[in-house]
Structure 1
Amino acid sequence: MTRSRIVALLRVILPLTALAILSVLFLLGRKPDPEASIPYADVDPRELAERQVVTSPSYAGVTEDGAQISVTGDEAVPDKKGGGSATAVRMTLRGRDGRAADVSAGAASLAGDQVRLGEGARMTTADGWVLTAPEFLASTTAGTVVSDDEVNVRAPFGELTAGRAELRPSGDGSGDHVLDLSGGVRLIYRP
């Protein structure tokens, strides 16, 4: 066979093959089920309309010592006293030197300038320290993060437990923050 005959034959066979494949797809395709329901959210529309909620709330400010603070969450609900509560909260405290401490918690409550972070509260510092506590109390004006409960700490050099922890401005005007552990500190040193 010559080349021109092969090309002429393929010009007929290839479109017919494509048409046959498309026909099979349409003939063997599933028919739509008229009984299938359209997926809707399982939410009561009346409750959704009446409930006061802010989704993806965000707060940013500057503390008295010049540190930047930002607080974000999944959902916030205001209360009648001027405060509120939030879920899946993440707070970042960034000093003037650029070093940051991140606090994450499952829930938080707000009263004035105090943010109480609980339900799996965890703080991570720029130096590699990881602190876990039942809750942290943060001040958005003073730039402090305090836990009066027992704190478990994973440091670059080992593990610590302490009765209290406080991240506060150093007080010397440098914009640095100091992590102060007190109340029966125990260290397991791992060189």
Structure 2
Amino acid sequence: MATFDNAYSRFVVMAKVVLPLVALGILSTLFLFSKSKDAELTIPYAEVDVESIARDQIIGEPTYTGVTRDGSAISISALSARPRDGDTTYMLAEDLQAVITTPDGTIIDIEAIAGTVDSVGNQAILNGNVQIVTSTGYQINTPSLMSSLNDTDLSSDAGVQAKGPLGVLDAGGMHLTETAENGYLLVFNGGVKLVYTPQN
């Protein structure tokens, strides 16, 4: 009986030492695995985002607003923009949208895939499937369009296709500008071909 009691006592003493050590080993193993997993999931993505922002200086959803000398309100927005070679006065933008509202109430909506805004030269150049819709009934498509930021002045020499009150036309270029009578004139030039649609 005494031998059994001694063996049991030794087992209890050993268990008190061994079991905590085993438990400590299991916890440390779980901690190490958890730490390495979290590091793999989070650190690389965080480093890429921070480095990209620091390098490219990308601006999300920028907006430019102003008033031209002839009183037209102009607003240009984009999905994103970044300075060209670190020069913040010359911005490269993607998914551009512009709205020009003239003093006589004419509204010109413009969309383009990309473009540049030069705040020193006071002009914006829109590129890639430029679509222009005016409240006077014109729908114009052109590969490239230049817009002044100081005056109501839009021009393209990249070829245009337009639908309007007179019908459908193709031309080598277009120019929208203010007239001396404080009105606005839209001129198509460069080999204009018009399919005239009579009005009822």
TM-score after normalising by structure 1: 0.73
Q: Once superposed, which parts of structure 1, at least 4 consecutive aligned residues long, lie more than 3 Å away?
A: none
- Aligned partner of 1:166 in structure 2 is 175
For 1:187, the aligned partner's letter is L
SS at match of 2:52: helix
Quick one: which of 32, 55, 59 aligns to 1:50?
Answer: 55
Alignment of 1:106-185 (within 5 A): 106-111=113-118, 112-173=121-182, 176-185=183-192
- Structure 1 vs Structure 2: percent identity of aligned residues? 28
The whole-number CA distance in structure 2 between the counterparts of 1:130 and 1:177 is: 17
- Aligned partner of 1:20 in structure 2 is none
Cα offset for 1:171? 2.4
Cα offset for 1:49? 3.8
Alpha-carbon deviations, 1:63-96, whole Å to 9, x = none?
1111111101100111234301101101111100
- Aligned partner of 1:70 in structure 2 is 75
Alpha carbon RMSD of aligned pairs, Å? 2.5
For 1:139, the aligned partner's letter is S
Q: Which runs of 5+ in 2 are unaligned?
A: 1-40
Cα offset for 1:54? 1.1
- Aligned partner of 1:93 in structure 2 is 100
Alignment of 1:22-33 (within 5 A): none
TM-score after normalising by structure 2: 0.70
SS at match of 2:136: coil
Alpha-carbon deviations, 1:38-78, whole Å to 9, x = none?
9xxx7822223432011111111111111111101100111
For 1:153, the aligned partner's letter is A
Instruction: Count the aligned residue pairs.
Output: 155
SS at match of 1:93: strand
Cα offset for 1:166? 0.8
